[in-house]
């Protein structure tokens, strides 16, 4: 499987998908669903939407550092 023009590459740290006491696949599923739901957005807006979907509410704050890079080829 290769990447071609129009493909989107999403790079992230574990803080985006991991939650204490939760199976890692639940976080991966959340990420996949969010990217699929917002895939038509430009990379910057896609990153904002994914962060809004996956990063815990500000009053609680994330459990871990979070980084996300979205690249459209």
pTM of the predicted protein model: 0.85
pLDDT tens digits, 15-30: 999 988 999 999 999 9
In the block, tokens 């499987």 appear at 1
CA–CA separation, 70 and 25 (whole Å)? 21
CA–CA separation, 66 and 33 (whole Å)? 18
The domains of the chain are located at 8-72
Percent of the chain with pLDDT over 70: 89
pLDDT tens digits, 50-66: 999 998 766 555 567 88
């Amino acid at each position: 499987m290769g990447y071609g023009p129009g493909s989107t590459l999403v790079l992230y740290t574990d803080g985006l998908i991991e939650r204490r006491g939760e199976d890692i696949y639940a976080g991966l599923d959340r990420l996949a669903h969010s990217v699929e739901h917002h895939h038509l957005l430009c990379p910057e807006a896609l990153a904002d939407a994914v962060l809004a979907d996956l990063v815990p509410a500000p009053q609680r704050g994330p459990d871990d550092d979070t980084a996300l890079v979205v690249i459209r080829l």
